[in-house]
Amino acid sequence: MKFCEGCQHRVADDVDVCPYCGFQYRQPKGRKSRRTSRDHEKTRYASEAVTRREPYIPPSVPQNQPKKKKSKKGLLIVLFSLIAVMIGLGVVLTVMIMNHKKPKTFDYNCAEYTAEMNRITGNKLDQNKWVEYKNKEGYKYSDKNYAIDLSTDKDTQKINSITVGPSDKEDGVKMAAASMMTVEPDLKQDKAMSQLADIREGKQDRFVNEKSVVTYDDSTKKFKLEPKDDDNSVVSTKKSTAKAPTEAASTAAAKETTKPEATTQETTEEPTTEEQTTAPESIEAPEELKDFLNHFVLHYYDSNGHHYDSTTVGSSGEKNLLQSIISMPPCINNETYGLTPTQDANHNMVFDGAKVDWIAKNIFNITDEQIEQCYNDMKHEYYWREDTADGHNYVTKGLAKGSPFQRIAVKKLEKNGELYKAHIALYDIDPSNNDSEIFNSAYDATVQLKEIDGGSYWSIYSLTKTL
């Protein structure tokens, strides 16, 4: 027996190949040995395995090892990180877009606005009078009675705001109304003027129309028009400052339901409203009041326009009330008071003096002293007074003046105790255009319905222009 050179096991002396490790002891004749260093390496490992009593495993075949599972935790972290980055970028882009949001504009540039304004106002604007701002985008138009500022978009030159004023001048208000009608083709002039009046008086913070929003700055006395969008389309109405009804007010209201007895007492003092703490009641204006105001507004006006204050009649600068009563046409409806004039031999118009004085005191609420002052200030070459056996008459040469192409409309009538406040709109009539109406101005009148000598008569204490 011999030891195998490959695995050290005992093998027979005559074996050519080791039965344990396959070691060859001799080569067959005619063949060369092909053992290599790798073969010897196998033999060495096999020998070591036998010594350790372990199964022989060739070194070229690796032992089977369990495969490691790939971790999903890392993938999730990467995925969530990417999502967070994308959300952050989205937020940043949204903020940037909102901060650089292009303002809304009207459908007019300066030239187009001017052309449309001239169509509405009758060519009041001169295109060459616009001055371009140097420090901002826009234009300015200046006139002695009004001013217009246009803010424009840098890229398109379209208008993004219109500022017009001042509100204490008639032309300033009219140009603001015309601007509203320019950007709102379906808006009527009387509605535009009514909105401007309500904003200026603080009844509302703004008016939201179909395409525009109108606001008012009391410090600059200017109206501002901006395109309507989600940020400025909320209307805030001013709260009423009327107090809760008191017991005295309730008593006064109860008394009001009973008409006072007819009296011939002359009443020239305006009724007090100290106890009338309830909000005014809006009612429909009766036809008699409309007729009364139509005559008065159209035919009574002084150097300040259509204006009346019963406490200052007869003062310097005021319209002569007596002249207005006996002028042709008069500031009253003569039929209402039975004041029908007659003609004398010289074709002068003669009015019953007692009736004229009665109208002056009871309808226009002036005193005997004011009547005398009016008579002294008359143009005596056209108006004078003649004494009669039972009194006096007023005489005029009967110089007739044409009636203006105008009419009034009572837009609202509010009752507060014994007094009424009438909100009036004055319109110009265009006979050449089917008597179409063009808004001229607005007024507030303080009136009262009096029971005198068995009849009901409307009387007036004041007429004030508001627009």
Judge if 340 and 389 occupy the same domain.
Answer: yes
The answer to whether residue 232 is domain-embedded is no
Which residues are registered as beta bridge partners of 396? Answer: 349, 383
Same domain, 328 and 377: yes
Strand order in the sheet with 131-132: 131-132, 138-142, 147-152, 159-165, 222-227, 212-217, 206-208
pLDDT tens column, 270-310:
554 444 445 556 678 888 888 888 888 877 765 455 678 88
Contact 362, 455 (CB under 8 A): no
Q: What integer pLDDT is reported at residue 274 of this predicted model?
A: 43
Residue at 148 is within a domain: yes
**At 345, phi and psi to the nearest 5?**
-65, -25
Are 335 and 422 part of one and the same domain? Answer: yes
Q: Do 416 and 350 lie in a common domain?
A: yes
Residue 251 lies in a domain: no
Report yes or no on 63 lying in a domain. no
Give yes or no: residues 18 and 143 share one domain.
Answer: no
Q: Can you give the residue range of the structural domain that contains 7?
A: 2-51
303 plus 382 within the same structural domain: yes
Q: Where are the beta strands (DSSP E) in 267-389?
A: 281-283, 308-309, 342-343, 349-352, 383-388
Whether 218 and 284 map to the same domain: the answer is no
d(CA 193, CA 440): 9
- Domain termination residue (choose one: 51, 67, 91): 51
The answer to whether position 41 is within a domain reads yes
Cβ–Cβ contacts within 10 Å for residue 387, how many?
9
Nearby residues of 451 by Cβ (< 8 Å), 6 or more positions away: 259, 260, 261, 262, 263
Identify the segments of the chain with pLDDT beneath 50: 31, 33, 49-51, 53-54, 56, 61, 235-265, 272-277, 303
Residue by residue, DSSP assigns 163-174 as EEE-TTSHHHHH
pLDDT attached to residue 18: 84
324 in a domain, yes or no? yes
Whether 288 and 410 map to the same domain: the answer is yes
Closest-CA residue to 213 (of 200, 195, 191): 195
Residues 434 and 297 occupy one common structural domain: yes
Residue 204 lies in a domain: yes
Domain tally, the chain: 3
Closest CA to 47 of 5, 2, 13: 5
Is 150 a member of any domain? Answer: yes
- Do 188 and 284 fall within a single domain? no
As a whole number of angstroms, the distance between CA 438 and CA 440 comes to 6
Long-range contact set of residues 138-147: C-beta below 8 Å, sequence gap at least 24: 139/110, 143/171, 145/169, 145/170, 145/171, 145/172, 146/171, 146/172, 146/174, 146/175, 147/172, 147/222
Say what the pLDDT of residue 39 is: 55
Are 447 and 326 found together in one domain? yes
Does one domain contain both 297 and 214? no
Q: Please report, for residues 181, 226, 324, the alpha-carbon distance to residue 215 in angstroms, rounded to integers and kept in the order given.
A: 15, 9, 40
Q: Which helix (H) or strand (E) holds 139?
A: strand 138-142
pTM of the entire predicted model:
0.46
